[in-house]
A = this chain, B = another copy of it.
């Protein structure tokens, strides 16, 4: 039986430049948007539509896309804040993460998935370990995800090889699975955690598998200086020499860039995942987002993990992307509201190789969408809904979420995940880790 339903009387913020706002109807058939139009739905649509959804009082927009994170680290939320990076990593994060079992990753990712659905994210990138357990959560939750085993190469050659084989094995098992909702990337963790020859091996594997590459890059000034010291060049040129940018690639953070590096990223078509909250919290600095956008680089948004954020509400990243660069550059026209919303939707899709699949409300694309209820003081007056979504809304305003045409959230009730059990198990996992 076909999955068919129809939203009537809705306001659709499409992110499609041809018709940015549509007051009308949207029809879904199976996993895709089948139609979208103004006014009343045509009779043939109404007849086909098995389920009718009343869209009054709601804004509909593409589901948000989180292009960098480590979901399982939600287990470490609030464990250690306001510390210097090395202290935070060496004395708090790494000792706990070293104890993570597959079950910890499963429950940590589950609590993250619940939080992401509740705040309107429909697609997320996840770089971590025990990725088969992450994939399990994606299967169960109904979310769309780009998953990647982040490999750290500071280890003996046999361990390097084992890790790479693990990443390749994961890719072969899971790319295209969960009804196509899972895609896989290959990830050297960072230029400062992987020797050059190991990065080249990972790049070669990615090319052989036909998969994009993802890595952390130029997050801190210290790591850039170290790269220059170790390899004589800054990270962008270093990774370029190693072939990382010779195919589709996405780098997270990219805080410390020269003009020449921005030009090279644009030339190579490298996408950037901007993580403003995490960059501020860890005192990494402020990425040069207006310059990146001006150069034509695709800039999307990531939360990074809840250990350095400390939530997964992408509305907050969208807002901060719009606010921060104005204040820091002194230009109030920097990153205007529509551009910030594109960063959280259509540019997110582009960053993940999902352009033409999700990130826009358009017939033929995947039915990945969310609704936001507007009967709240902070949506008054009804001036400019894009402005309100960017500058006034939060993830808590999200009422409904669909991915692949399937509803995951209905009036803030999770339909695919058992929120109470997940909270209980995640707390238990944390208590055990800390014991």
- Interface residue ranges, A against B (CB under 8 Å): 74-75, 77-79, 81-85, 88, 111-112, 114-115, 118, 277, 279-286, 306, 309-313, 320, 322-324, 326-334, 336-337, 375-378, 380-385, 387-388, 391-392, 394-397, 419-420, 422-423, 426-427, 430-431
- A381 touching B327, Cβ below 8 Å: no
When distances are taken between beta carbons in the complex, the residues of chain B under 8 Å from A283 are: 326-327, 329-332, 334
CA distance A326 to B279 in the complex (A): 9
Q: A328-B286, A377-B422, A392-B306 are in contact. Are A384 and B279 (CB under 8 A)?
A: no
A218 to chain B minimum Cβ distance, whole angstroms, is 15
Contacts A280-B324, A280-B327, A377-B423 known; 7 new A-B pairs at CB < 8 A: A81-B384, A280-B326, A281-B391, A310-B387, A375-B423, A380-B426, A396-B397
B residues within 8 A CB of A387? 77-78, 81, 310
Tell me whether B332 and A378 are in contact (CB under 8 A). Answer: no
* Other-chain residue from B74, B85, B320, B323 in contact with A380 (beta carbon distance below 8 A): B74
- Contact in complex: A383, B79 (CB < 8 Å): yes
Contact of A391 among B78, B286, B420 (CB under 8 A): B78
Given contacts A330-B285, A332-B83, A332-B85, is CB(A111)–CB(B430) below 8 Å? no
Most chain B beta-carbon neighbours within 10 Å: one of A313, A385, A387: A387
What B residues does A328 contact at CB under 8 A?
280, 286, 328
Q: Which residue of B lies closest to A279 (CB)?
A: B327
The residue of chain B having its C-beta at the shortest distance from the C-beta of A340 within the complex is: B82
A304 to chain B minimum Cβ distance, whole angstroms, is 12
Q: How far is the CB of A5 from chain B (nearest CB, A)?
A: 27
Across-interface contacts of A395 in B (CB, < 8 A) = 394
Please name 28 pairs of A and B residues whose Cβ atoms are closer than 8 Å in the assembled complex, sorted by A.
Answer: A74-B377, A77-B381, A78-B383, A79-B384, A81-B336, A81-B337, A82-B326, A82-B332, A82-B336, A83-B333, A84-B332, A111-B380, A280-B328, A282-B326, A283-B327, A283-B329, A283-B331, A285-B327, A286-B327, A310-B387, A311-B392, A313-B378, A313-B394, A380-B426, A380-B427, A381-B427, A381-B430, A394-B395
